[in-house]
Chains A and B, each alone.
Chain A
Amino acid sequence: MDEFRKKIQKRSVLLRISIATIFIINGILYIIQKDAPQLEEGASFQMGVLLGIGIIGCFSIYRYHLALKDEVKLKKLYIEEHDERKHMIKEKMSQSAIWTSVILLLLVGSVMAYVNTLIALTLIITAMMIMVIMCLFKVYYFHKY
């Protein structure tokens, strides 16, 4: 459990640094947006996304802070992160999501070929790239295990 505690401490520090960076970037974006009104839309969107990430990060820091104070909560957090059923669900979910995305990309790409060749090619190449990446990971894991 000591190792996990150190891991959580490290993660908490990294999150604090990331959130500080996010606020700095948001500040810079705010200044840019003020000086160049034509960039307002893009900058506002980026600021919103960064703020959202920052808020989620703050919640995680709070959670880690509580876990580091209480041994039972730390163990529950450890269990939550290392639960084998959750790992299995994540693996199955990733597999299904990837295959569904590839099939959808290929289907939409085939239909788009009648409308716009460029979009169709982009979609089909994306699907193929995903499949190539999957094959590379498969080879890597076959060698690893």
Chain B
Amino acid sequence: MKTKIRELRKAHKISQDELALAVGVTRQTIISLEKEKYVASLVLAYKIAHYFGLSIEDVFDFRDVEDM
């Protein structure tokens, strides 16, 4: 699933480690999310979106899921 995590992180000048610690996952999970290898759970998606003060749809691209 496509995400805007990398762009948001860079815009907020936050490292992968900082984001990982804030949302309660490992840095590897953030890397996998940014590389679009792993799809976040609803709770994690909410935590990441909430961290950036956005809605889930603003961070994660659900267009692929809608086509299914």
**Which A residues lie at the B interface, using CB under 8 A?**
75-76, 78-80, 82-86, 88
Contacts and interface: CB of A to CB of B under 8 A. Distances in A.
B20 interface: yes
Contacts of A86: 26, 29
Contacts, number: 29
Contacts of A79: 20-21, 24-26
Contacts of B55: none
A83 B29 contact: yes
Interface of B: 20-21, 24-26, 28-29, 32, 38, 40-41, 43-44
A126 B21 CA distance: 44
Contacts of A76: 21
11 contacts: A79-B20, A79-B24, A79-B25, A80-B26, A82-B24, A83-B25, A83-B26, A84-B41, A85-B25, A85-B26, A85-B28
For the complex, would chain A's binding face be called helix, strand, loop or mixed by DSSP majority?
helix
Contacts of B25: 79, 83-85
A76 B20 CA distance: 10
B35 to A, nearest CB: 12
A84 B29 contact: yes
Contacts of A85: 25-26, 28-29, 32, 38
A48 to B, nearest CB: 34
Contacts of B40: 84
A-B pairs, top 7 by smallest CB distance, nearest first, are: A85-B29, A83-B26, A83-B25, A84-B41, A79-B24, A85-B38, A83-B29
